[in-house]
Structure 1
Amino acid sequence: MALHDESTDGSTSEGEVKEEGCFCLRGLCKRRARVHKGDEEAQDHCGGGDDMSSRQWIGLFLALSTIVGFLITEPSSSLTRRQHRTLGVLIFAAIMWISEAIPIPLTGMIVGPLLFLLDVCRLGRSLSAYFSNVTLVLFGSSFISIAMERHGLDARFAKAITNCSWVESKPTRMRMAMMLAGCVMSMWVTNTGSAYILTPIVLRSFSAERQRRLDDHEEQRTLMGSLLSVAYACNTGGMGTLVGTGSNLVAVRFLREMGVQIDFVRWMVVGVPAALSVASVCYLVLYMRFKPTKSMTTQILSTGRPQPWTFGEKVVAASFVFTASLWVFPAFYALAHGSHHEMVKRKLLAGVSVLIGTFPMFIIPDRGDSPRPAPFGPPVGGGHRVLPWSVAKSADWGIVMLVGGGLAIGSQMQETGLADVIAEQFVSSTGINDIWVLTFVTTMLTIFATEITSNTATTSIMVPVVIAVSKSVSADPNAAVAPAIGVALGASCAFMLPIATPPNYIVKETGHVDFCQMASTGFIINVICSGLIWLILRMTVPLVWGV
C-alpha cells in the first residue's frame, strides 16, 4: 500500500507518491493489485519478477542436492529409512526457506507431496495438515482482517487511540499510543495490516515540509524511533492471542497431539502479559535511543468530529465480537459446568467458530445509500455484500500453505521418531536436564533464528524437537508447555532485520530508518526479551498447567 492518501476516485498524483514514498509488500501483492492494476514496477518490487539472485540459485542447488543425496545414500545405524528421508525433507525445506529460492509459501506447499513421494507417509496423512483446525482459523482470521481493512474499521480504531485527549500534543504519549494501537490491533488482525495502517499516521506527524528538511539530527532520530515503535508493536501484538500469528497455532497443534489442552483463554493468560511486557521493553529501549523532541508535531489526522459508523462497519464489528465470544466461550463454560463441557469443547473448535462468526459478512448486503470507494475490490455499499467473495478470495493463501507444510514435516518428525533422535543428541551434547533451562535456551535460539527464517517455519521445526527433549527430561506431558510456548513467543521477536518480518520491511522502505540503527536496537531488545519471556513463562505456566 502506498503511504499516502488516495483521492476519492482512487487515483493518486505522482507528486504525492514521491513525497511520502510508495512501496508494496510481497504478502499483500494480490490484494493491492486490484488498486494498482498494470503497475508492473510495483509487481516487480513485490517479487513478481523472474530474476533470481545468486543466493537463491545456490539455495536451490543445495536443496535439490540434499534430496538426491538422501535418496541415494543408506541411513546411518541410528536412523530408520523413514527417519533418514524425513531428515532429508527437513533440511531441504530449511534451505529453501532460508534462501527463498522460491516463494516461502510454495516451499511449504511442496513439503507434503514430497513426504509422500519419498515413502515417508501416506498421501492422505501428508496432506491432512493443509486442511485442519489450524488452517481454518487462518482462513477465518484472514476474512475478518480483510473486512476490517475494506470498511476502515482498523483505521477507526487506530484514530480513536491516537486522537484521544490524553495524547494531546505530547510526542512521548503519541508514541506510546501508537504502540498500544499496533499491539492491540495485531492481536486480532495481521501485523502487516496493522503496520500499513499506522505507518502513514506516523509519517503525517511530520508535515511534508519537515520531512524534506530532516537535516536536524534529533528530528531525524525522532521520526526513526516512532517508525520503529510501530513495527515492533505490530510484531509483539501477535503474542497476545491464539490467532495473533501462525506460530502460536503451530505450537498449540503439536501440544494438543500430546494431550495438552490449550484454549483461547489459557493462551491469553500467558500471551497478553508477554505481548505487553515485550512492547514495554521496546518502548523503553526506543525512548532511550530515540527520545522524541519536544517540538515534534502531533497533529496527525484531520480534526473534527468522528464520522458516524457505517452499516458495514457495524456488521464487521459484530462478526468480530461474535467470533471472539465463541473462541472464549468453551473456557468460561468449563468453569461453570466442569467436566460436562467436553461436548462444547469438541464442537466449538477455533476453526469452526471463526467460520461461523464470519459467515454473516458474506450474506448480509451493505445497506449504504450510495456506493463509496473502497481500498480494494468493488465499492462499499450500494447493495454489495459486506464482504464480497471477489474480495474474500484474496485471503492470505500463502500462510495456509506455509503452516500446512510446517505441520506436515513436524508431524512426521514426531511420528517417525526423528524428533526423539534429535532430542537425544541435543541432550547428550548440551547436558540440559532441566525444563526451565531448556525453555531459556530454545527461546533465545528461536529469537535469533527467526531473524533470517520465517516465523512459522522456525516454529514448525523447533517445537517438535523441544517437545521430544521435554519428554526426555520429564514424564509429565505438561512439561512441554513452557519450551513450546517459548518458541512460539520467541518467533514473534524479530526486531533486527528488515527481512525478518513484514512490519520491519514496511518502515524500512519509508526511507527514514537506518539499517544499522534498526539492527543494533533490535539486538538489544532480542537479548532482553530472551530473559523476559522466560520470566513471564516461569510465572504464568505453573499457575495454568501446574508445572
Structure 2
Amino acid sequence: MNNIKQNKKKYIGLLTGIIFFLLTCIFPAPESLNYKAWLTLGVALLMASWWLSEAIPLPATGLVPLVIFPILDISSIKQTAQGFSHPIIFLFMGGFIIGLAMQHTGLHKRIAYYIISKFKKGPKSIIFGFMLGTAFLSMWISNSATAIMMLPIALSIITVLNENKIKPKNNNFDKALVLSIAFSATIGGIATIIGTPPNTVMAAMLSELYNYEISFVDWLKIGLPTSIILLPIAWIILTYLCFPINSETIVKDSIIKNKIKSLGKISQDEILVGVVFIFTAFLWISRKWISSLLENIIPIGAINDSSIAILAAIILFILPSNEKNKKRLIDWEVVQKIPWGALILIGGGLALASVISSSGLAAWIGALSSNFDAISIILIVLLSVAIIIILTELTSNTATASTFIPIFGATALGLGQDPLLLIIPATLGASCAFMMPVATPPNTIAYASGHINITDMVKAGVWLNITSLIVIGIIITLILGPVFGVELNKIPIWVN
C-alpha cells in the first residue's frame, strides 16, 4: 500500500514539473520579467517538483540544468557545468574522505565507545552518552553513516538487557535509545559546515549568488551553539517527557567494557587517521590566522576550507598502513563509497541558483516580496523556518534547502534585508525535522530497526520541532548580528 502511495506521489510530481515547465514555454513572460528569467522559472519549478516528490533520484534531477539550460540558450554548457566544480563540492568531498578513513580504520567506534563509557550512572545517563557520541561523530561524518554505525551498538545493549531481564516491562528505554541515535545524528550535523548537506548547500549558494564566503569557523559559531542547546533538550524530551525511564533499567559497565575490549589495542592506522583529523580541524579553525601570517609567502585566499579538506585527503592516500594487505591508510576502493550523488545534487542546485541570479529571476522575486513590508521581519523569519521544517518532514532536507535557499535570499533582498537573515535560519530549519521517518536518513534508519513506530517518532518529534523553532529564533536574535554583522533593514555591501 505504501509503495502504491509513493509511486502515485512520484508520478504526480513528475507530471506537475513537466506541466509547469511547458506552461512557461507556451505562455509569454510577464511584462516585468525577461524571457530567459521566465524560462528559468519553468526549469526551477520542474526541478522543485521533482526534488520534492523524488519523482526521479535526487542527483538525477541535479543533472537537469546541464541539458535544459544550453538547449534553451539560458546558459552555455561551460557556464552551467561550473556549479559542479565549485570549491564547496571539494570541501564536502574531502570531508567525506576523512569520515571514510575513520570508518575504515575503526576509529569512529573507538571514539563512540569511549564517550559512552564515561556515562555509567544509569539508563538516562547511558542514553545521553550515546547522544553525545553520536552528535560528535555526526559533526565530521555524514549523519546517515553515523546512525548506521551507532544503531547496532545501541541494539546490542537492548538485546543484552532483554536476555538478562534487567529492564521493565515497557519498552521506553528501547524507544528512547533508538530515537536518541536518530535525533542526535541530525542535531550533531548542524554544528559544522560539513556535518549535513543543507549546511554545505547554503555555503555554496552564498558563494555562488553573492560571492560571500562562510568559513568553517564562522558557521561553527552559530551551528555549535544550536547543537549544544538542542541536544540536552532532545534528551529531556525523550527520557522525561515522552518515554519516562525509571531506575529498574540498569546497564552494566561490563557491556561497554566488553565492546571496548573487542576492539583490541588502538592500531597505528587509527592513530594516524586521528592525527590527520586533528590537524585538519586545527587548519580549519586557524586558517585566517595562518593566511595573515604567511601573506608575504602565500597569496591571501590561497588557503581555504576546501583546499584544507583535499590536502587531508591526499595525506591519507600517502601515509602508509600498518595493516596486512594494505599499502596506505585509504585507497581508491574505499573512496568509491563516497555518496557521489550528494555532490551531483549540490552541483545541480548551484547551477540552478547561478542562473536564477544571472537571469534576473532573483531580482523579480525580490521585487514581489516587497509587498510583505508590513509584516514584522521577525515573524517572516519564524514563518520561513516553520515552512522549511514542515516541508522537510515530507521530503529530503537537501532538496528543500536546494530549492528554497535562493528564494529566501531573493525574498530578503526584496524586503530590504540582509539575505543571511532568512537563509541561515532556513538552513538550520532544514536540519530540524524530527517527526517522520522520511524526514532525514537517521529517522529512516531508526524506524527500520523495528523498535519504534511512526506514533513514537511523531510523539517525540513534534515537541522537538516546536522547540527547534524557538531555539533557532533565539540563536538568530542573539548571534546572527555579532557573528555575521547582520543589521535589520540594511543590505550589506557584499551583496553588490
Q: When the two structures are superposed, what TM-score results if normalisation uses the length of structure 1? A: 0.81
Decide whether aligned partners of structure 1 residues 427 and 516 sit closer, same or farther in structure 2, where only a CA change above 3 A counts.
farther
Q: How far has the Cα of 1:360 moved from its partner?
A: 1.9
Q: State the alpha-carbon separation in 2 of the partners of residues 464 and 102 from structure 1.
A: 22
Partner of 2:81: 127
Q: How far has the Cα of 1:429 moved from its partner?
A: 4.8
What residue identity is the alignment partner of 1:309?
Answer: I
1:160 aligns to 2:99 (yes or no): no
> Pick from 475, 480, 485: which aligns with 1:541?
480
Q: State the alpha-carbon separation in 2 of the partners of residues 101 and 484 from structure 1.
A: 26
Q: Give deviations 1:311-367, integer Å, cap 9, x for gaps.
A: 221222122122222222223347x769x5996651112211111111122123312
What residue identity is the alignment partner of 2:246?
Answer: T
Partner of 2:339: 396
1:367 aligns to 2:322 (yes or no): yes
Partner of 1:229: 180
Q: How far has the Cα of 1:492 moved from its partner?
A: 0.7
> Pick from 291, 294, 311: which aligns with 2:268?
311
Q: State the alpha-carbon separation in 1 of the partners of residues 476 and 432 from structure 2.
A: 15
> Pick from 106, 119, 138: which aligns with 2:60?
106
Instruction: Indicate conservation of the 8 Å contact 2:401/2:427, yes or no.
Output: yes
Partner of 1:413: 356
Q: Which runs of structure 2 are paired with 1:441-480 in the superposition (5 Å)?
A: 441-474=383-416, 479-480=418-419
Q: State the alpha-carbon separation in 2 of the partners of residues 341 and 199 from structure 1.
A: 50
Q: State the alpha-carbon separation in 1 of the partners of residues 103 and 477 from structure 2.
A: 37
> Pick from 144, 147, 150: which aligns with 1:198?
150
Partner of 2:311: 356
Decide whether aligned partners of structure 1 residues 522 and 146 sit closer, same or farther in structure 2, where only a CA change above 3 A counts.
same
What residue identity is the alignment partner of 2:214?
Answer: I
Q: State the alpha-carbon separation in 2 of the partners of residues 443 and 212 from structure 1.
A: 45
Decide whether aligned partners of structure 1 residues 117 and 215 sit closer, same or farther in structure 2, where only a CA change above 3 A counts.
farther
Where 1:500 maps in the other structure, the secondary structure is coil
What residue identity is the alignment partner of 1:406?
Answer: G
Q: How far has the Cα of 1:213 moved from its partner?
A: 8.7
Partner of 1:384: 327
Identity %: 27
1:523 aligns to 2:462 (yes or no): yes
Partner of 1:481: 420
What residue identity is the alignment partner of 2:412?
Answer: S
Instruction: Indicate conservation of the 8 Å contact 1:52/1:101, yes or no.
Output: no
Q: Give deviations 1:368-406, integer Å, cap 9, x for gaps.
A: 2xxxxxxxxxxxx33332111112122110100111111
Partner of 2:246: 293
Q: Indicate the larger mover: 277-286 or 149-158.
A: 277-286
Q: How far has the Cα of 1:86 moved from its partner?
A: 1.1
Instruction: Indicate conservation of the 8 Å contact 1:141/1:243, yes or no.
Output: yes
Instruction: Indicate conservation of the 8 Å contact 2:396/2:438, yes or no.
Output: no
Q: How far has the Cα of 1:211 moved from its partner?
A: 7.4
Q: Which runs of structure 2 are paired with 1:51-200 in the superposition (5 Å)?
A: 53-164=7-118, 167-200=119-152
Q: How far has the Cα of 1:454 moved from its partner?
A: 2.0
Q: Indicate the larger mover: 402-411 or 313-322.
A: 313-322
Decide whether aligned partners of structure 1 residues 207 and 456 sit closer, same or farther in structure 2, where only a CA change above 3 A counts.
closer
Q: Indicate the larger mover: 460-469 or 401-410.
A: 460-469
Q: State the alpha-carbon separation in 2 of the partners of residues 215 and 103 from structure 1.
A: 43
> Pick from 222, 245, 264: which aligns with 2:216?
264
Q: How far has the Cα of 1:212 moved from its partner?
A: 11
What residue identity is the alignment partner of 2:335?
Answer: A
Q: How far has the Cα of 1:168 moved from its partner?
A: 1.7
Q: State the alpha-carbon separation in 2 of the partners of residues 544 and 452 from structure 1.
A: 32
Q: How far has the Cα of 1:498 moved from its partner?
A: 0.6
Q: State the alpha-carbon separation in 1 of the partners of residues 59 and 164 from structure 2.
A: 39
Decide whether aligned partners of structure 1 residues 291 and 430 sit closer, same or farther in structure 2, where only a CA change above 3 A counts.
farther
Q: State the alpha-carbon separation in 2 of the partners of residues 531 and 185 from structure 1.
A: 25
Q: Which runs of 5+ in 2 are unaligned?
A: 487-496
**Of Structure 1 and Structure 2, which has the larger fraction of its residues in helix?**
2
Instruction: Indicate conservation of the 8 Å contact 1:265/1:331, yes or no.
Output: no
Instruction: Indicate conservation of the 8 Å contact 1:131/1:404, yes or no.
Output: yes
Decide whether aligned partners of structure 1 residues 318 and 139 sit closer, same or farther in structure 2, where only a CA change above 3 A counts.
same
Q: State the alpha-carbon separation in 1 of the partners of residues 101 and 28 from structure 2.
A: 52
Q: When the two structures are superposed, what TM-score results if normalisation uses the length of structure 2? A: 0.89
Instruction: Indicate conservation of the 8 Å contact 1:433/1:473, yes or no.
Output: no
Partner of 1:26: none
Instruction: Indicate conservation of the 8 Å contact 2:168/2:248, yes or no.
Output: no
Partner of 1:274: 226
Q: Give deviations 1:141-192, integer Å, cap 9, x for gaps.
A: 111111111111111110001112xx22510111111111111111111001
Partner of 1:511: 450
Q: CA RMSD in A?
A: 2.7
Q: Give deviations 1:476-510, integer Å, cap 9, x for gaps.
A: xxx32232111111111120111111100111011
> Pick from 240, 243, 247: which aligns with 2:198?
247
Where 2:74 maps in the other structure, the secondary structure is coil
The total of aligned residue pairs comes to 478
Instruction: Indicate conservation of the 8 Å contact 2:161/2:251, yes or no.
Output: no
Instruction: Indicate conservation of the 8 Å contact 1:186/1:234, yes or no.
Output: yes
Partner of 1:43: none
Q: How far has the Cα of 1:302 moved from its partner?
A: 4.7
> Pick from 266, 288, 301: which aligns with 1:346?
301
Partner of 1:14: none
Decide whether aligned partners of structure 1 residues 217 and 446 sit closer, same or farther in structure 2, where only a CA change above 3 A counts.
farther
What residue identity is the alignment partner of 1:174?
Answer: I
